[in-house]
Amino acid sequence: MVRSNRWVNLGFQLAALVLALLFTTLILLAAGAPPFDAYANILRGAFGSMINFTDVLAAWVPLLLTTAGLLITFAAGLWNIGVEGQIMLGAIFTTWVLRELQDTSMPPALIITLGILAGMIGGALWAMLAGALKTFGGVNEIFGGLGLNFVATALTLWLIFGPWKRPGVASMSGTVPFDDKLALPAFTGLRLSPWALGIAMIAIVIVYLLLQGTYFGLRLKAVGKNPKAAFLLGIPTWQYMMFSFVLCGLFAGAAGAMQVVAVYHRLIPSISSGYGYLGLMVAMLINYQALWAAPIAFFYAALNIGSIQLPIVLHLDSSLSGVLQGMLVLFVLLVEGARQRLMKKA
Amino acid sequence: MGVGNLPMNVELKHIHKHFGKVHANNDIVLNVPSGTIQGILGENGAGKSTLMKVLSGFIQADSGEILLDGHPVTIHSPADAIQHGIGMLHQDPLDFPPMRALDNFLLGHSGGLFPDRKAVARDFKRLAAQFDFSLDPDSYVDSLTVGERQQLEILRLLWLGARVLILDEPTTGISAIQKAKLFETLRKLTAQGMTVIFVSHKLEDVEVLCHTVAVLRAGKLVGEVKAPFQTKKLVELMFGKEISLGARQAAGPGRSVLELRGVAIEDIRLRMSDINLSVRGGEVIGLAGMEGSGQGPFIRACAGLMRTVGGRVLVNDRDLTGKSYHAFKRNGVSFLPASRLEEGLVPGLTLTEHFVLSEETKGLFIDREGGRKLAEDRISSFNIRGTPLSTVESLSGGNQQRALLALLQDPLSLILLEHPTRGLDIESTIYIWNKLKERCKQGAAIIFISSDLEEILQYSDRVLVFFSGKVSSPLDASKTTVEQLGNLIGGKGWESLKTEKAHG
């Protein structure tokens, strides 16, 4: 019975994938583009060369970090839309520490470490704001988070065009790039840093263990599934919710820090690259199971990187990957709903 | 529109309604001629609300017929009901607090995109004046009292063309003056040919107001009585014949585990004050009263789940006034709510996970093996039909209740329970009480709410009766009969009792 269920579930999920592809194909046809060329291009863009493949991994790092953080807030039953802003604040804090310390005689490794830690703290503080708004202000975390995202964007732009502007003229290309010695060491000739990769993998393992194996994780799940009962069971509910915000902020902040020390080496206006919203999609797609975070985040990163070439080759917008990513989430949720209905009747 | 519509006779024929195994309405036949006030009397769960929901279109009957003026009708929704001229006034007014009275008045009126506010305001004032209601159409609903909201709702229903008015427990939470005005209004309306159906558990109100009273018990219509009424007869119909009580175990006096000194409790509807009570270890206190009479806030105040507004609460001689539930819990108090899946258990988590959560934790990581052993242990000692990996929502109600009991920490001084055996079969009920009595022998005191009077008299040592915010002094359960209790719950016979303090 159990085994047959598992196969049935797998079948449903495959159906969702097929439907998502089908729908994206329809959109491509409507746009007058050759669908199979487009898919081939995405594949080639993601895995066509070593550089492409390592670029996928470089994008996987912040996405995985963000997803790891979101798994914690989802476990607590919270929709941390503010994760996007938490990534930005992480990047801002990292940039700030790097700017302050770049001209000192401190060893670069220490500066980078301090920068990453500062980023994590920045993300956590921003997440705490959303948590405090919810706990003490009665503001739903979705609205609070969304508002804080706009504030974070404004703050980023203000810093780039104000206090941290390039000498001479401020530009959308961001702040002055840091010296090479302040970058996380990368593989030679590639944009991928083994350090960043390691941090992301450690993060997802930590979150997996936290949610699967610890008392903290179990209590968090109880709070998420039924705060009233959790309270009667003796769990301090609002403190747990607050703490889950902080933990998620730490991971999101780390993602922001990686964007600065491993990818862009400066603060740019779109520093979060939308990984917050993408992370939300990944978390929904994997039904909040930490085990699946790594492969699905990788798949999404591949779609992102693979579609970069589309405008050049096929004159298609690279947002096509977004269409496919969104379709996938919608169809997986839809098919899951259908499955539950059908199974109930059976 | 307004008052002065055609009169209407309401007939219910062989109404049946099942909820799962519960036969909530069993072959109800009722005939209400226009111009009468029909009382519907019965204890909680007797099927009064179900019947009224069927009549007002909230739910559909499984079988049976509704006839209005002799014509069979099918009522699909509350909006449909009002089209037919049936308006229902709910116990909790279904209004929109952050809106103005006039806006509420307009809701549910199907009249174009842009209502003629001026004309409506005129209608409103005319109707209000007719019944001598002093309602300001521009005031916000949340600034009104429950009684005023009720008046607003009555006006709205009349304005929408209601010819049959159903009122569900309308006298709960309103002042004596408002009650008098409500009754006067209802008499006026029936004199004009309206039909009024008055649902209540308050004997006194029913006796004063109604022309005829139908009594429901366990889903059946057990009798219809015409005015003038005999209280004794009504109580007998409501609660059935007295059943001999089983053997009672008297608890010996223990140390004081809970002491209430001049406690005052307040919620939106009620204010109870100057409650004094001392509960000793091993004692069982039953709280009797119709739902919403104040026993809910009382038990939650004893758990620290509701702030008291006066007096002191002592647990094991320690002053915990104003402390949180978790402080009470640390001092050996546990509260088991009536809604098991909504408040007591966490749907989606397994039995093992629940037991692990309820235990003191050692270290950071969950001891899986220990958790499984613990779960197997509890499952067998509480006779729960489920496995360690069963999710709580997959258990039956009786097994969920056993699981809740199995979650209680060790040791305990005070266990507070809301409807511990509601919806359970006899076997589970007896099992649960045996487990609770074991706790008493270990020195815990129990305070429980029940709407089953026999359960209260059978298992309690002392009984507190709640009626409209009044709390009786503790009654000796062994010297109280079901009939006495039934009277007190319905608000009769309080004069002969020494009440803690009367408050409306």
Residues of A in contact with B363 (CB under 8 A): 215
Chain B CB within 8 Å of residue A213 CB: yes
B436 touches chain A (CB under 8 A): no
The verdict on a CB contact (< 8 Å) between B346 and A225 is: yes
Q: Is B403 on the interface with A (CB under 8 A)?
A: no
The answer to whether B366 contacts A215, with C-beta atoms less than 8 Å apart, is yes
- What pLDDT score does B193 carry? 87
Distance from CA of B55 to the nearest CA of A (A): 30
- Inspect the interface and report whether the beta carbons of B326 and A234 lie closer than 8 Å: yes
> What is the SS3 assignment for A62-117?
HHHHHHHHHHHHHHCCCCCCCHHHHHHHHHHHHHHHHHHHCCCCCCHHHHHHHHHH
Q: Which residue has the higher pLDDT, B44 or B374?
A: B374
What is the rounded distance in angstroms from the CA atom of residue A3 to the CA atom of residue B246?
51
Choose from A205, A218, A228, A237 for mutation: most chain B CBs within 10 A.
Answer: A218
Inter-chain residue contact A214 with B364, CB threshold 8 Å: yes
- Return the pLDDT at A2: 43
How is chain A split into domains, by residue range?
61-290
For B329-383, what is each residue's pLDDT tens digit?
999 999 999 888 888 999 999 999 999 998 877 788 888 888 999 999 889 888 8
CB contact under 8 A, B366 and A231: no
Please give the residue of chain A at the shortest CA–CA distance from B305: A232
Is residue A229 within 8 angstroms of chain B, CB to CB?
yes
pLDDT, greater one: B117 or A174? A174
- Domains, chain B, with CATH or none: 10-239 (3.40.50.300), 256-332+409-501 (3.40.50.300)
Contact between B353 and A216 using a beta-carbon 8 Å cutoff: no
Tell me the pairing of strands B37-41 and B63-68: unpaired
The pLDDT assigned to B303 comes to: 93
Residue B426 is predicted with a pLDDT of 67
Q: Is A288 near chain B, with CB under 8 Å?
A: no
A235 neighbourhood in chain B, CB within 8 Å: 357
Q: What pLDDT does B502 receive? A: 40
pLDDT score recorded for residue A7:
79
Among the partner-chain residues A209, A216, A226, the one whose CB lies closest to the CB of B346 is: A226
Cβ–Cβ contacts within 10 Å for residue B242, how many?
14
Contact A233 B356 (CB under 8 A): no
In tens digits, what is the pLDDT along chain A, a chain of 346 residues? 344 567 777 788 888 889 988 998 998 888 888 888 888 988 998 999 999 999 999 999 999 999 999 999 999 999 999 999 999 999 999 999 999 999 999 999 999 999 999 999 999 999 999 999 999 998 999 999 999 999 999 999 999 999 998 887 778 889 999 998 999 998 888 889 999 999 999 999 999 999 998 999 999 999 999 999 999 998 999 999 999 999 999 999 999 999 999 999 999 999 999 999 999 999 988 888 888 999 999 999 999 998 888 887 777 777 788 888 888 888 888 888 888 888 765 5
Residue B113 has pLDDT above 70, yes or no: no
Q: Note whether B335 contacts A235, CB cutoff 8 Å.
A: no
* Distant-in-sequence, close-in-space partners of A193: CB < 8 Å, separation ≥ 6: A58, A183, A184, A185, A186, A187, A262
pLDDT tens-digit series, residues B409-432 = 778 899 999 988 877 766 778 888
pLDDT of residue B455: 87
Nearest-CA distance from B405 to chain A in Å?
12
Chain B contact for A235 (CB, 8 A cutoff): yes
As for the ipTM of the complex, it is 0.84
Q: How far is A236 from chain B (nearest CA, A)?
A: 8
**B125-138 mean pLDDT:** 84
pLDDT for res B286: 94
For residue B20, the distance in angstroms to the closest alpha carbon of chain A comes to 17
| pLDDT tens figures, B381-400 | 888 888 899 899 888 777 88
Residue of B nearest to A209 (CA): B365
Contact A219 B326 (CB under 8 A): no
Q: How many CB pairs under 8 A join A and B?
A: 62
Output the CA torsion B396→B400→B403→B407 (10° steps). Answer: 170
Q: What is the 3-state secondary structure (H, E, C) of B75-93?
A: CCCHHHHHHCCEEEECCCC
How do residues B197-235 score in pLDDT, each as one tens digit? 999 877 888 888 999 999 998 888 988 998 888 888 888
Are the CB atoms for B270 and B247 separated by under 8 Å? no
Cis geometry, peptide bond prior to residue B474 (ω within 30 degrees of 0):
no
| B357:A236 CB<8 A | no
3-state secondary structure B302-353: HCCCCCCCEEEEEECCEECCCCCHHHHHHCCEEEECCCHHHHHCCCCCEHHH
Q: In chain B, which residue's Cα lies nearest the Cα of A237?
A: B326
**Could you tell me what percent of chain B has a pLDDT over 70?**
90
Q: How far is CA A333 from CA A8, A280, A296, B439, in A?
A: 16, 13, 15, 47
Name the residue facing B349 among A209, A216, A225 (closest C-beta): A225
For chain B, percent helix, then strand, then coil, each to nearest 5?
35, 25, 40
